[in-house]
Each structure stands twice: as structure tokens, then as C-alpha cells.
Chain A
Amino acid sequence: MTPGARLVQVDGLVKHFPGARALLGLGRARRPVRAVDGVSFAIESGQTLGLVGESGCGKSTVGRSILRLIEPDAGRVTLDGVEVLALGPRELRALRRRMQIVFQDPYGSLNPRMTVYQTLAEPLAIHRLAAGPEVERRVRSLLEEVGLDPAFARAYPHELSGGQRQRVGIARALSVEPQFLVLDEPVSALDVSVQAQVLNLLAELQRKRRLTYLFIAHDLAVVKHIADHVAVMYLGKIVERASAAALYGAPRHPYTTSLLSAVPVPDPTAQRQRIVLQGDVPSPAAPPPGCPFHPRCPHPKKNDRCRTEPPALREVAPGQLAACHFAEEPM
């Protein structure tokens, strides 16, 4: 496929989870959780889109819906022109070879009773990609590619450190030679030093294999090191989307500005004006009316319109979309 072409396209993605019913069926059923509420974006081949937001805003649900690890309620997803949501089970299995996921928790995402060798050989067998001595050769080269000594093939997950387990998770995703990877908080559970090693590895693999990434994170500083474009989510919706340079250089949504200002800077002499957002994220089962961010919004011009009228996600600068009534006059 030609470089610069859109490999992944997501339009109007919706996923609502049924609300928990009151105990013993007494009382009213709770309102549904609007985990993802009309999310759209595209990722060009060989590029990385960073998807950022606070816990519970729907990032993982977006990633899982695209791969159909959960079934979205509405919307359109295409991978290299193939309508992902229209596929039957057999075609879907074939497509899974082309798109894979790496999970946040390097502890929970590997089978504790399988050696590293078995973990990496399994997808090769399922997708009939190798047999006989070829399996061993492939496993060895995958381990080398993610920077692990081939001697680790005999190890069980509990014998590995967090960073090593995350490398095995990446190797397993790569074993089927995908084009597209959803990286769901792949470094959030790691120490800074190991985090840097894994980020470097991901960048190198992307270059070598021309991979396309959806990189999910809650840390805007981490995303800055890997993303070409960034989408910021709040309560199931994208509130700002732009190139990394525009988003970090000139954020248009007050939520993006607040997130940026909350990241601790490793410089004790830095004089920063910190915006500390008040309160927690509201429940996605009962998002506030108007602009969903209005109860926490620090924008000095916030007014009644914010409390009643939902702002549209619109282009406010070339290639930069934001959903704030005052996006044209940022903070």
C-alpha cells in the first residue's frame, strides 16, 4: 500500500454497556454506560495515533472494538479497505493476523502455565504460519527482535521481570506479522528506565516492519515520544485531535491544556502555572449536559452555553479539531 494512505479508518464508533441491574431485580435498572460515544479517526500507514485520556474515558473500549474483541453497537471500521465490522467469524479470524493487540498488564496477559516458547509458538500453529523446525527458528528470531536472549524460551512468565514480560507480549503480537498494532498502555506498568527501553523497541520495530500503531496511554509525555497524531478522549468522546506538533504546541481544548499542565516536569526550577482540575471524571452512565467537561472546565469564559449546548468537534485550525465553544480563543 502506498505510504500516506489511510490504513485504519474509524467512523462514528459507539459502544454502550448495559447498566448493572439493582440487586435481586429490585429497583430500577441503571442507565447504560456510554463507554464510547461516536468516535472517529484515521491512521495513515506506518504512523502512530496516540489515544489519551483519564481512566474510564473509553480508550480500551475503542481499541478492543476495532479488533472486535468486543462488538461495538454502531459505527464503521475499515482496515486497508476491508469492512471489519461486517466480517463473519472465518474472515475475522483471517483478519486477526493483520491486526494484533498488546495489553497493559504484563502480569495478567500471559498464560502462567505456558513457557515463552509455547506462548510464541501457539499463534504460529493457529494461523498455520510455520511447522516443524521452522517454528523453533521463528521463535528464536522473534526473541532476538524484541531484545531477549533466546535462552528465555524455556522460562515461565513468573520468572521474568515486567519489562521482559512486556517484550514477550510484543513478540507474541508480532509473530503473525501484523500490519496494525493496538498498544493498550504497553508501558504504563513499567519503571521509567524499562519504559524507555520498551518505547525505543516499539519505535525501532515500527521503522523496520512499517507497522501502524494505535498507542493508548494516559500519559501525554510518553505519547509525545511516539505519536505522529494525538486524539484526546473525555467521557467516551474525542474532544481534540491534531498532529502531535499542534496538540503539544498549541492545544485548543481546555481539557488538553489541563492534562498537559498536570504532567510533572523533572525540573525543580521550572516555573509553571499548574491547572489542577477539580473533582473526578463524572460517571459515563450520566454524562453532564451541554459540554461534558463543563463541571471541571477552568476556561475563564465558561458560561451558560457550556452548561446546555454540546460543542461540536470541528476544525479550528488546519488539521486540528476541537470540541469547545471557545476553541477559537484557547486558554
Chain B
Amino acid sequence: MTEPLLRVRDLKTYFVTEQGSGTARAVDGVSLDLFPGETLGLVGESGCGKTVTSLSILRLIPEPPGHIRPGSFIEFEGRNLLTLAPKELRAIRGNRIAMVFQEPMTSLNPVFTVGDQIAEAAIVHQGLSRNAARARAVEMLTLVGIPDPQERVDHYPHQMSGGMRQRVMIAMALVCHPKLLIADEPTTALDVTIQAQILELLDRLQRELGMAVMLITHDLGVVAGTADRVVVMYAGQVVEQAPTTTLFARPLHPYTEGLLASVPRLDTRVSQVRGRLHSIPGQVPAATAWPTGCRFHPRCPYAWDRCASEEPPLLDAPGGEAGAHTVRCWLLTEPQRRERRA
């Protein structure tokens, strides 16, 4: 089997909050693998720790108030990112690992042209001359499908639409041909039509450039169409992890099941969809006060007393290879309880 490109083990990223409301355990023991050339979907509700996980990988957590706990381990291309010197880290960030953020307007600098911003990374990381970097910027704008790249290279971010700005962000991220692209909700702020364009673009670029992608989203529809494997997070932990087709065909964690059922769908008849949508009761608790036992138990339709007192570990789903499909739920030890409710 191939070695993972990225290996995260027991990642814990905590924040000391103001007003003494306690420590926010934003990411609390996350382990995951990402293989070369693979697309991994990272999904979960707002506040479950997706962004903090990705920022931890790049070591972009503001310290204070945040810190990555001792015992956490992040290995990329065989090197432990958590012990790298700042200089070595800078050589990886933006070069071997690149990131696209959710809000293109806040991550592009309004006073520089998009060409200058794309060229910057090529100058810093690859030592290109200004002229060569500019030519690279035009090439990247062409690659991400911006019309009239020769002209657009001299435009400022405010002269572009939201979809075009997101393409520029992707062009910036890809300028050094990274091995890993982390895309944090790259299409959430966009219309479905533009979202379809961007997803198609990411898909094509991944095939052409052979990079791995970590796609962070709360939209299971996006994951279904693009990811090879999915990691579902809840309350700072991984609660289920499986190949995409397995996860959608046989979700085993009650949270995944609930998330899937709440998605408004187009592929059902109007007469069937009118009426109640399934919804998960309650809301995500605060990161300063995760529930005891299984963190999902206050919202879980199957919970029994064990769930409230004992925290379930990640268990292997029956019938598969070890580690292929893992689920953090006690139901795996007492499957008859699921049937009794259904």
C-alpha cells in the first residue's frame, strides 16, 4: 500500500477563551490520513473544528489564544510539521501545501493587482524573476479559465466577480504546483452555477497536476460528487470515516445518518418532498463544554445510558478491512438497538 502524504495523529488544538469561560477544545484528538492524488472530504456542522484542523496542519493557529497540545503529530512527506523550524515551515507552506480560504475578498489584498499577488508566491518560493513570474501569473489565470488573462492580470480584486476572485485564489494556491491543496469551503459563498464551475475546475486541475486535495465543506452534495473518501467531524472529533460510496450507501454513525437525511434533495418527486424534512434536534454544543460520554448523545435518537457515561472509541465497521470504515458509536457493539428503533 502507498504511504500517506499527510498523516495526522491525535491532533489537539485548544483555545483559552476570554472572560474565563474555559478552554475551547476546538480539535480534540483528530487522526486522519491523506494519500497522494486523493480527494478527502472533511464535513460537519459549523463549529465542529474543520477550519481549526486545516489551520493546525499549516501551523497558522494564532498563539495565544490557541495552542497545539503536546502529543499531537502531523507528518507531511515524512517530516513532522510540528517540530519544523519557522524557516523550513515557510518553505513548505504555499509551496508544497497550499490553501484556498472561504472568503476570497478577505484573503486577496485590495491594493495589489491579481497578477502581482499570483506572481509573489513564484518569486518567493521558486526564485523566478519578475518577468518570468508575470508570465507564470498569466499562465495560471489561463489554467483556471479566466477569459482575457493578458488583460485580467493587471486588474484589482474589486474589478472581478465572486467566482472570478475564487479562481484567482485557486491560481495563487497552485502557482508552485503543490502536492496538497487544502480548500476550506471554496464554494460556499457562490451561486450553484459558479460552484459547479469551480468544482469542475478543481477536479480537472487535480487530475492534470496529480495533487491531493482536502476539501472542507458542510455540503454533503459537494462531497458526494468530488471526494474519494470522507471524514465526518462532530464536536472536535472524527465520528465516521469511509470511502465516499460506502459512507453514502451505509452511513453508520447516527450523526452522519441525520446529516444525510436533512439535505434538501432535488432527486425526489415534488409530492414526496412537501412535508417535514428530517432534522437533527438541538444544536452543536459550545467547544468549552462538550457533553460527557458520546459527544453526540444529547441529540442522538438511539442513545442509551452507556452513551451518556462512556466515550466510544473509533470502531471498525463490520465486514470491512481494518481502518477502511471507522465509526465512533456504541451501536457498533450492540447493533440490535438500531433495528429496534427502526
Separation in Å of the A128 CB from the closest CB of chain B?
36
Complex interface: chain A residues within 8 A of B259 (CB): 192-193
Separation in Å of the B44 CB from the closest CB of chain A?
9
Contact assessment for B266 and A224 in the assembled complex, using a CB-CB cutoff below 8 Å: yes
Q: Do A258 and B193 form a contact, CB below 8 Å, given A161-B283, A162-B46, A264-B224? A: yes
Complex interface: chain B residues within 8 A of A270 (CB): 224, 267
Q: Tell yes or no: A220 within 8 A of B by CB.
A: yes
Which residues 197-237 of A sit at the B interface, judged by CB distance below 8 A?
197, 199-200, 203, 218-222, 224-225
Contact assessment for B164 and A280 in the assembled complex, using a CB-CB cutoff below 8 Å: yes
Complex interface: chain A residues within 8 A of B264 (CB): 192, 195-196, 199, 219, 221-222, 224-225
Q: Tell yes or no: A194 within 8 A of B by CB.
A: yes
Looking at A262, A264, A270, the one whose CB has the most chain B CB atoms below 10 A away is A264
Contact assessment for B193 and A268 in the assembled complex, using a CB-CB cutoff below 8 Å: no
From the candidates A163, A191, A220, A245, name the one contacting B266 in the complex (CB within 8 A): A220
Complex interface: chain B residues within 8 A of A162 (CB): 46
Separation in Å of the A203 CB from the closest CB of chain B?
7
From the candidates A163, A245, A266, name the one contacting B265 in the complex (CB within 8 A): A266
Complex interface: chain A residues within 8 A of B3 (CB): none
Separation in Å of the A273 CB from the closest CB of chain B?
12
Which residues 224-278 of B sit at the A interface, judged by CB distance below 8 A?
224-225, 244-245, 248-249, 258-260, 262-267, 269-271, 273-278
Complex interface: chain B residues within 8 A of A278 (CB): 197
Complex interface: chain A residues within 8 A of B245 (CB): 268-269
Looking at A163, A192, A196, A219, the one whose CB has the most chain B CB atoms below 10 A away is A192
Contact assessment for B221 and A276 in the assembled complex, using a CB-CB cutoff below 8 Å: no
Looking at B46, B200, B219, the one whose CB has the most chain A CB atoms below 10 A away is B46
B230 nearest in chain A by CB position = A268
Q: Tell yes or no: B220 within 8 A of A by CB.
A: yes
Interface size class of A (residues with CB under 8 A): 35 or more
Q: Do A264 and B45 form a contact, CB below 8 Å, given A200-B277, A200-B279? A: no
Contact assessment for B248 and A268 in the assembled complex, using a CB-CB cutoff below 8 Å: yes
From the candidates B45, B161, B163, B224, name the one contacting A268 in the complex (CB within 8 A): B224
Which residues 148-180 of B sit at the A interface, judged by CB distance below 8 A?
161-164
Which residues 106-163 of B sit at the A interface, judged by CB distance below 8 A?
147, 161-163
Complex interface: chain B residues within 8 A of A280 (CB): 161, 163-164, 194
A279 to B161, CA, bound (A): 10
Complex interface: chain A residues within 8 A of B77 (CB): none
B218 nearest in chain A by CB position = A191
Complex interface: chain B residues within 8 A of A244 (CB): 270
Separation in Å of the A202 CB from the closest CB of chain B?
11
A162 to B219, CA, bound (A): 17
Contact assessment for B248 and A225 in the assembled complex, using a CB-CB cutoff below 8 Å: no
A contact set with B: CB distance below 8 Å: 54-55, 161-164, 191-197, 199-200, 203, 218-222, 224-225, 244-245, 248-249, 258-260, 262-270, 274, 276-281
List the 7 shortest-distance A-B pairs measured between CB atoms, nearest first.
A264-B221, A196-B279, A196-B262, A196-B277, A262-B196, A262-B192, A221-B264
- 5 additional contacts, CB 8 Å, given A161-B283, A192-B218? A193-B262, A220-B192, A258-B193, A264-B225, A270-B267
Q: Can you report 29 residue pairs joining A to B where beta carbons are below 8 Å apart?
A: A54-B194, A55-B162, A55-B191, A164-B283, A191-B218, A192-B45, A192-B262, A193-B45, A193-B259, A196-B264, A196-B277, A196-B280, A199-B264, A203-B276, A224-B266, A225-B264, A244-B270, A245-B270, A245-B271, A259-B193, A260-B266, A262-B195, A263-B221, A263-B266, A264-B222, A264-B225, A265-B224, A266-B223, A277-B196
